[in-house]
Amino acid sequence: MHQTGTTWPMKAGDIIRLLERLGVQPSRKLGQNFLIDPNTLRLIVAAARPEPHELILEIGPGTGVMTSALLEAGSDVIAIEFDARLAAWLREHHDGDSRIQIVEGDACRVDFESLVNGRSYRCVANLPYAVSSIIVGRFLEATNRPTRLTLLLQREMAERLAATSNNKTYGALTVRTQAMYKVKLERIVPPTVFFPPPDIDSAIVTMTPNEQVLPTHEVKPFGDMVRLGFSQRRKRLVKLLSSAYSKSDLELAWSELGFDDGARAEHLTVDDYLNLFRSLQR
Ligand code: SAM
């Protein structure tokens, strides 16, 4: 039965009872830490800025608290949920509402570009921790990328995405992400906003597209170069890249771009990596 305006705010106790009724014992492997705090939900929806009739792709809708809030804001929603019991419950709960499509499947594999079928879309997700970097990586390499991502992530992952060069948290995923998106760490959220509470803090992150991004066919080769560069952080970058690029091309790039011969992967900014990639493609 299609219900409107009745789902949220669900109290924490209602969510726990719903999970019991569905026989869902929260699984660590599936990152099943369900949101039970209306304030955090409001912050996520405000950060997502849903527009009426705009399409939102939600990964891991779980009990559907974010899904309902997005529908109430007037969005169309496609939600991909791995857990068959939750997917079935969401289908039943939203039966008759043509604005929502529930897809049961693994968001690491589902062809989400076919699902959105050429439409412009945003992504909103309280991501399962184990697969968050795979899912972010899939969005980066997509032809039709989200026009905005609002993600609730493990704090360490959020800090990694938002890091700047010369930091321990700055790594290949940082560079690959920031080559395509501006990343803003909106807020740290404590474990108490979830049931069950995870061991660590989480954070809300928004990602908005950069004006000049790599063409889609270059995103993967760029990522491969960056991953190789970070594969052994203590080694000189030029040495690591020599397994994939010629010595003369690297020497030329290093002298054109004024890089230090001893530079390690974390010393280059995202723009440095983009310039290096362009130089090595010539
Ligand atoms: N959005 C809900 C919320 O905020 O309460 C649930 C978030 S919970 C952190 C993560 C959700 O992702 C769970 O419902 C879990 O079953 C689902 N999930 C885990 N792995 C998944 C995958 N590979 N593909 C799609 N959904 C997945």
Q: Write out pLDDT tens, residues 95-127.
A: 999 999 999 999 999 999 999 999 999 999 999
Structure tokens at 152: 């609730």
Helix (H, G, I), strand (E, B) or coil at 103: strand
Residue 8: pLDDT over 60 = no
The pLDDT score that the predictor gives to residue 42 is 93
Q: What is the whole-number distance in angstroms between the Cα of residue 33 and the centre of ligand 1? A: 8
Residue 4 has pLDDT above 50, yes or no: no
Q: Separation of 199 CA from ligand 1 center, angstroms?
A: 17
> What is the pLDDT at residue 282?
82
* pLDDT at res. 1: 36
State yes or no: pLDDT of 86 exceeds 90. yes
Ligand 1 center from residue 79 Cα (angstroms) = 10
Q: pTM score, two decimals?
A: 0.94
> What is the rounded distance in angstroms from the CA atom of residue 108 to the CA atom of residue 85?
19
Nearest atom, ligand 1, residue 30 CA: 19
Q: Are 172 and 229 in contact (CB under 8 A)?
A: yes
Q: What is the share, in percent, of the chain residues with pLDDT greater than 90?
A: 94
pLDDT band at 6 (very low <50, low <70, confident <90, very high): very low
SS3 content of the chain, % helix, strand, coil (to 5): 45, 15, 40
